[in-house]
Amino acid sequence: MINRLRKDFGRIIKLIIFLILEVILFFAITQTFGGIIIPDLKTAFAIIIALSILNALLWPTITYLSLRFIVLTLGFGTFLIDGVLLYIISLFIPGVSINGIALFSIPLLIGLISSMLSIILNIDDDYTYYRYILEKEMKVIHRNIPKKEGFLFLEIDGLSYRIIKEALDNGDMPTLKSWIDKGSHRLISWETDLSSQTSSSQAGILHGNNNNIPAFRWVEKDHENRIISSNGRTDSKLIEKRISNGKGLLSLNGASRSNLFSGDAKDHLLTFSRFSDSESINSNSWFYLYSTPYVIARILVLFIFDMIMELLSRVRHLFKNIQPRLKWRGLKYFVARAGTNVVLREATTFTLIGDVFAGEHNVIYATYMGYDEIAHHSGIEDFDSFYSLRQIDKQFKHIENAINNSNRDYKIIVLSDHGQSNGPSFKQKFDISLNDLLSEFLPENITVHSILHSNDDHFSKEFSINHLGSENLEKLDKRVENTKEKLDIKIDNTKEKLDHRIDNTKEKLDHRIDNTKEKLDHRIDNTKEKIDTTKEKLDHRIDNTKEKIDTTKEKLDHRIDNTKERIDSNLDYTKEKINTSFDGELINTWDKLIKFKNKSSNKAFLDKLRKKRTLINNDEPIIDRINNVSEDLSEDLEVNIELSKEKITSDKAAQTIVLSSGNLGLIYFTDWSNRMSYEQIEDAFPGLINQLASHDGIGFVMVKSDIYGTLVFSNDNLFYLESEEYVGENFLDKFGKNTVQKLKRTDKFAHVPDILVNSEYNMETNEVYAFEELIGSHGGIGGTQQYPFILCPSNWESEEIFGAENVYKFFMKEINKSWNQSKNK
């Protein structure tokens, strides 16, 4: 009791200091800015008090009436509204005047002052009057709150099990630590699929289906080599359409906040796959975000502060020579970092608190992306990365306090969709990028297109008024059509005028041409006489030369006839070899090899061949290898034709696309309509697989063989995926115990690349080498990236969880168990 009184007394003192400083700063600023007149400090105090009272009484109503306007102005409309209130106040206080731009700038300055003082004085936002008003307002609006338990899933993007344990031990996340210490929650680890990145994991967690998502972006050869990107607005919507069956984690009256996918929630806000839906901008959930008049000012202050933190981080990395580090993070990254670490964080928390007070949603899922963004560029254990976790932990404290003061009980589950692994980028470590490495092994006329840049794992850059207003696309299309019709009419009229002018000009030109033609005909006649004289002399010389040529031709014809006889003889012999009949049909070598493989009687020989690796890792051209094998199999197999002749349109037309997700690389040869086989790759690009697999920075390379099934290469070692047999050393175990299962699953995907590449993993330093320019990375296999965490209620029962789809099953099981228990009570 005494401690509580001390806390309350401390808050009162802080609020008094806050009010005094706010009035003094407000008065000082108004004396230097134009457009506003305040005679004295006493009047400034009266204005601040009056504005606070009006906001407290009218703001909820004002927000409801002007919500769409506020959303479309990205929140800056709140300052215009406050400017109107300030103008009304000035009418009743003598000596006060405000007009012009001051109606916007002064409320903005008041908001900035208020926000800065709140941060400096560490005034807990849970105890502000505006939060109190929101709580009361939501309880009045939403009176019929369900009795059953609600569930609030809070995802920390990119945080691994190892790093959260470190953060808990170091005191960086006291809120989560207190839950564990009280026994209400327990921390468990789970293992991701391949690929370990947001679109794959969130698809599995939210929809229970992450099939056919081989990476963050991939190529679909059956759709004209279209590159699908998980953060493309149309692509993310397409992906969700493919994976959703209407039974997502949020399908039962759920809400999605700041996620990549919606989980089939009807109420979604800042959800990327649903940005184009009109209900996003019309959602009443925006009310929670703008429930306080100065929320945008607060976000602006924190935004600027985070940009300063990024600048200091770069200086610290430089002077302390922190390694590994990016040489240049770029100017855009200042905005990208502050956008994810501040704007989305604050917006997500405000809306979640409103959701909790409203109590109408059964299941809510939200993502905090700040740690993942910072860890990508600074490292997974950098000071700024842990600073981000401390700020996220504060948000969880606010949410917990809101639940304690709400009318509905929500269980909080904190989780991550994947982790991150640290290490210098592939280019930093080996002074070459993946696409440049590949280009070294390909013919010079093969064009390589690559997407290896970073920052695409987040979609903060897509938050703009244009995207939030995308529900008006249909109206815009109609305007375009109307404008097009008008332009067509104008074009037709202009065309008629031009045709008339052209006809007149043509007549004049025809007249000039006729006159010029007469003059030219006269000159031509004179010139013709001279030419005839010269021609007689040339004809005489030509006749003499022709006689010499005929003599030489007779000699060459004789030689050609002799050579032709020898060539025809050789061709007849070769033709007999090529056109050898097999089962009465004319077939090529490849058909014969496939038929040979499918005969059960030849299984023993192929097993022996597999162990000898006769066709694998051989420096000879693939056709020569087949011919050598054919000597042991059958004379019918000995031919001299190219396997890929019918596949490649031309050398010039062949294209290669290289994509990456962290330390996972995807290589597609787009001139082939289907997944290329090992044999086809070796035929078109001899030695390519062996050269890639032998590079020090490559952990393994996976391709599919038409004879041997899927093959995994690493240096001189080989792994047969189907039979799980090694030739040479075991090189996969170090990547994780479920690596083989991950590769087998990915191998069955519809759009698996022709060549799948995973970087090396250094077990001693626990480092991988991202093909993107990142320090902390995820997407492939190796290290902590594949081991995220779940902080769940202690009474939730779980076995070892492997795969995001099983996380979905785990959550659904516990949710249904809780609701069934509520029914039985």
Q: How far is it, in rounded angstroms, from Cα 734 to Cα 764?
A: 11
Tokens of 450: 């690559």
Q: How far is it, in rounded angstroms, from Cα 810 to Cα 313?
A: 39
Domains annotated for the chain, with CATH where assigned, are 2-123 (no CATH), 144-211+225-420+788-824 (3.40.720.10), 471-578 (no CATH), 585-637 (no CATH)
E strand or H helix at 365: strand 363-368
Q: How far is it, in rounded angstroms, from Cα 246 to Cα 251?
A: 7
- pLDDT score recorded for residue 490: 63
- pLDDT score recorded for residue 221: 92
Q: pLDDT under 50 in the chain at which residues?
A: 127, 129-130, 133, 455-476, 566, 570-571, 573-587, 634-654
E strand or H helix at 61: helix 41-65
Q: Which of 281, 264, 164 has its CA nearest to residue 207?
A: 264
Is there a contact between 375 and 156 (Cβ–Cβ < 8 Å)?
no
- pLDDT score recorded for residue 811: 97
- List the Cα angle 808/813/818 in 5-degree steps: 130
Give the up-direction half-sphere exposure of residue 50: CA atoms within 13 A in the CB hemisphere: 17
pTM of the model: 0.79
Tokens of 222: 């059956």
Q: Which residues share a beta bridge with 152?
A: 364, 412
Torsion of CA 718, 721, 722, 724, to 10 degrees: 70
- List the Cα angle 696/699/705 in 5-degree steps: 115
Distances in Å between the alpha carbon of 276 and those of 282, 313, 391, 721? Answer: 12, 36, 31, 42
- pLDDT score recorded for residue 749: 97
Q: Which of 429, 431, 430, 426 has its CA nearest to residue 452?
A: 426
For 99, the 3-state DSSP assignment is coil
- pLDDT score recorded for residue 3: 63
- pLDDT score recorded for residue 130: 42
- List the Cα angle 310/387/296 in 5-degree steps: 70
Q: Of all residues in the chain, what percent are helix, strand and coil, respectively (each to 5)?
A: 55, 15, 30
For 731, the 3-state DSSP assignment is coil
Q: Helix count (H) and strand count (E) of the chain?
A: 28, 26
Look-up: residue for tokens 């939730």? 796
Burial class (CB in 10 A: 0-12, 13-18, 19+), 758: buried
pLDDT in tens, 380-405: 999 999 999 999 999 999 999 989 98
Burial class (CB in 10 A: 0-12, 13-18, 19+), 205: buried
- pLDDT score recorded for residue 590: 57
- pLDDT score recorded for residue 170: 96
Q: Which of 654, 657, 706 has its CA nearest to residue 677?
A: 706
- pLDDT score recorded for residue 413: 98
Which contacts qualify for 12-16: CB closer than 8 Å, 24 or more apart? 14/121, 14/122, 14/123, 15/123
DSSP string, 625-688: HHHHHHHHH-GGG-----TTTTT-S-TTT-EEEEEEETTEEEEEETTSSSPPBHHHHHHHSTTH
- pLDDT score recorded for residue 296: 87
